[in-house]
Amino acid sequence: MIYADNAATTKMSKAAIHAMLPYMEEIWGNPSSLYRAGQKAAEALQSARERIAGCIKATAKEIYFTSGGSEADNQAILSAARLGERSGKKHIVSSAFEHHAVLHTLRKLEKEGFEIELLDVHENGMVYPEQVAEAVREDTCLVTIMYANNEIGSVMPISEIGAICRAKKILFHTDAVQAAGHLEIDVQKQNIDMLSLSSHKFHGPKGIGALYARQGVWLTNLIEGGAQERGRRGGTENVPAIMGMASALEESCANIETHNRKLLILRNRLIDGLSKIPHSVLNGDMINRLPGNVNFCFEGIEGESLLLLLDDRGICASSGSACTSGSLDPSHVLLAVGRPHEIAHGSLRLSLSADNTEEEIDEILRAVPEIVDYLRNISPLWKDKIHGRREFLIP
Ligand SMILES: *Cc1c(COP(=O)(O)O)cnc(C)c1O
């Protein structure tokens, strides 16, 4: 199997698995229990919190464990909204191509009377600091802009956006789920007040993540219960998963440079090869781009058919995001960067990890053009286009 869907989830690293086992087999006590078997788990939890904080230049007190990236996004946004409405601030600035964990939370707030301003995304997949500077107002309680987009891989100028918010004393949250473990994060230098992490996007276990909230930032609870997470999230901590997450994040962060050097070579080879397919276009920015992300639109094909035929050849890829596949709506991200519906339907995302090899890239470069050719040849629409009865949308 060739796995090229690392933006959907990643394979757990050996180190992460080994870090979890002792907390299932030996040290399985409840960290809230006062006897030694519980306190050993509490000490492990504290060390994991410190190690995760260290990876993003935060302190342990600023890390709140959650069930994943979605929960962290929900908690960050709802906290800023609840705080804002107390002083009549009900304006929130975000962008049109955020993850649904952000967009759907904002939609909920809109129904409650918040004014949600979604910034346009440029055709290259970028949101620029000037747009944020223009949008923020006296009554803005939150700016939430993702660090890196999960579909088209574009990387936002987070430090600059953070600086604008800091100067205006507006809370700034970033969904860094696709960035963590792949790009350097420094919450202090980058002026970040809140940041979401998800373990299974950097070779850790699923169902665990974290919200970083700068000291002094007020949080509301999504889950009421015990005093865990300094009273901000009830429920017995998932100690094995947290240990796996800490180990995976440390390992990924220690290898960012070597992994990215390798990924850039693989990614660029893939982009060069796929660009040769006629009537194709790369989505996202070529410079501000995650080192493992490739995303193309091919005119005249259905992304879903392409995926199924790739699967027959042992290649795992994605079209749109995993959350929307299964529905017939095209990706909101591709629509946000201005691709027409028909083109957005024919998209392919390949997201690499450092485990991929040159041989795998070559196999993908053999498979994709053959399948695209095959699908175009059986399409009546395509016949119309090549016979000039319909226009091509991608030159
Ligand atoms: C995967 C992902 C999420 C959701 O994370 P989960 O841990 O799966 O809930 C949120 N935002 C982005 C950008 C993602 O890629």
Q: Which CATH class is domain 14-254?
A: alpha beta
Q: What is the mean pLDDT of the chain?
A: 96
pLDDT for res 327: 57
Cα(24) to centroid(ligand 1), Å: 26
Residue 253 a catalytic site member? no
Q: Which amino acid is at 310?
A: L
Looking from the CA of residue 73, the nearest atom of ligand 1 is 10
Residue 266 has pLDDT above 80, yes or no: yes
Nearest ligand 1 atom to alpha carbon 72: 9
The architecture (CATH level 2) of 255-386 comes to: Alpha-Beta Complex (3.90)
- C-alpha to C-alpha distances, 64 to 225, 249, 252, nearest whole angstrom: 15, 15, 20
Q: What is the pLDDT of residue 322?
A: 47
Mean pLDDT of the 276-300 span: 96
Distance from residue 205's CA to the centre of ligand 1 (Å)? 13
- Counting from 1 in the atom list of ligand 1, the atom nearest the Cα of 71 is 9
* The pLDDT of residue 329: 79
* Catalytic residue chosen out of the listed positions 55, 165, 297, 323: 323
pTM score over 0.85 = yes
Could you tell me which residues come within 8 angstroms of residue 369 by beta carbon, excluding any fewer than 6 positions away? 274, 276, 277
- CB within 8 A of 325, min separation 6: which ones? 304, 307, 318, 319
Tell me the domain boundaries of the chain.
14-254, 255-386
